[in-house]
Structure 1
Amino acid sequence: MAEEMVAKRRRQQEPTGQPRRIPSQQRGRDRFEKILAVASELIEKNGSDALKMSEIVEKAELSFGALYQYFPDKTSIIRTLAERFNEQGRQCVADELAKVRDADNLRTALCVIADEYYAFFRREPVMRDIWHATHTDKLLQEVDAEDMEFHAQALFSVLQRLWPERTEAELLAVARLTMQLLAAAVRYAVSLDGEKGAQAIALFKRMQVADIDRLLG
């Protein structure tokens, strides 16, 4: 109990939302990964709102001091998991946009991205929960904002190449809104059952293709 109180006072003096440090040695990396694995199991079982540092300590068989050595609070754990999932999404977007050579390619790429994101969140219940957390926790909202801007800038680069006669401001506005709408459509679709979710994504893809054609075609 004394160790827990000391660790609690220490973390209250530090900014939250970020890992305290990323280990460089193998033993530390193994412990770091174990903490994240246990947290993922608990989130999948009970949701991120119910995640408790005491449960992680118990299930990972660590001391509070060992846990707080890497993560000052549960927000820092959720943020780390969110950023890892985001990396996978960024790779998907980068891979598809790299294939774009013309407007038809772009429409295909955006449809594939919507399908991939929908499938990803369907098969990853932990990520669905964390994605929700990044929209309800102020400290985590910046993670989502950074990720959305990354995708918008990636799409913006493609739009500049395909429509060089359009202004940067116009293309950036289209890129940002397109990615925001795509994310909103996926979030809505995964809230539905499988069949209705798939129908929602299919409808979104038809609407998005029409919008791109009307705005920039």
Structure 2
Amino acid sequence: MTTTPDRAAPRRMPTQQRSRERVERMLLAAREIIAADGTDGLRMAQVAERAGVPIGSLYQFFPDKAAIIRMLAMRCNEESRACIRAGLEPVADEAGLLTAFGTLIDEYYALFRADPVISDIWSGMQADKLLREMEVEESRLNGRLLADTIRRIRPGADPADVEATAFLVMHLGEATMRLAIAVPPEEGDRLVATYRRMALEALAGSSAEDAGGRGSVSAGM
């Protein structure tokens, strides 16, 4: 992992239980405010008041609201990665890969639609350089999980093609979700369905043993 998550972490990492609980209250308060008013409505004083902490304590851990938003984004990334890992671990063959990845797409889209905090954070990420860097790094990490799964079921596949396809599929998935929640629901549903079809076609490429070729997984792109 790169240093991006460290840069998104609190200014001062809490070591005592009391301090950790205080940071959790701050983040919960920020989530509640974002859910109600969006990231534009997030104010440091409001976070401190809702969390029941002095404003000075808030600044000890988070220098500004951008730091809070990045920390929430990092938490979302960690949860998403855990879900992806859990969804791909049981995959043992090609059919299992396509079923598992299709399910992950559906679950991720439902999560974006249901959680206003996630959608608000990632919809505004283009304005934050560090969030953009986090997005690319997260796509790379998730792509490695997908690439490991592909290599497990297709040991003859070309490693470079596997890495590139997995990285691109994951990154386009993030972009698709952001776009889908920014347009009317019916249009968003169509966009996600189209991405789902394209991604599964890309992942259904022939292995070297089956096709007698290079073993590329990108034939469906």
Deviations 1:97-123 (A, max 9, x none): 112111111111111111111011111
Name the counterpart of 1:123: 114
Q: Which segment drifts farther, 52-61 or 98-107?
A: 52-61
Matched, 1:92 2:80: no
Two-structure CA RMSD over aligned residues (Å): 2.2
The offset of 1:127, in angstroms, is 0.8
1:10-159 equivalences under 5 Å are: 17-159=8-150
Q: Distance in 2 between matches of 1:107 and 1:151?
A: 16
2:162 partner letter: L
Report the AA paired with residue 64 of structure 1: I
Deviation, structure 1 residue 199: 3.2
Q: Which letter maps to 1:153? A: R
Equivalent of 2:173 in 160, 175, 182? 182
Specify whether residues 205 and 81 from structure 1 end up closer, same or farther in structure 2 by C-alpha distance, changes over 3 A only: same
- Please list the CA deviations of residues 166-202 of structure 1 after superposition, one character each: whole Å capped at 9, or x if unmatched: 3221111111111112222222222233343333322
Whether contact under 8 Å (1:78, 1:130) holds in the other structure is yes
Segments of 4+ in structure 1 off by > 6 A?
none
1:133–1:140: 8 Å Cα contact kept in structure 2?
A: no
Gaps of 5+ in 1: 1-15
CA contact (8 A) 2:136 2:171 kept: no
Consecutive unaligned residues of structure 2, counting only runs of 5 or more, are 1-6, 206-215
CA distance in 2, matches of 1:211, 1:140: 27
Greater Cα shift, 45-54 or 66-75 = 45-54
Kindly indicate whether the alpha-carbon contact (under 8 Å) linking 2:8 and 2:74 is maintained by their aligned counterparts in 1.
no
The TM-score, its normalising length taken from structure 2, stands at: 0.82
* CA deviation map 1:3-33 (0-9, x unaligned): xxxxxxxxxxxxx754122323232122111
The Cα offsets for residues 72-116 of structure 1, whole Å up to 9 and x where unpaired, read as 111211111111111211111111111211111111111111111
Structure 2 distance, partners of 1:132, 1:197, is: 14
- Aligned equivalents of 2:189, 2:144: Cα separation in 1: 27
Q: Secondary structure at the match of 1:38?
A: helix
- Partners of 1:102 and 1:162 within 8 A in 2: yes
Q: Percent identity?
A: 39
- Counterpart selection for 2:198 from 197, 203, 207: 207
Task: Classify the secondary structure of the residue corresponding to 1:35.
Answer: helix
- For 1:97, the aligned partner's letter is L
Question: Structure 2: how far apart are the matches of 1:140 and 1:199?
Answer: 27
8 A Cα contact 2:87 2:100, kept in partner? yes
Residue type at the aligned position of 2:20? R
| SS of equivalent residue, structure 2 residue 124 | helix
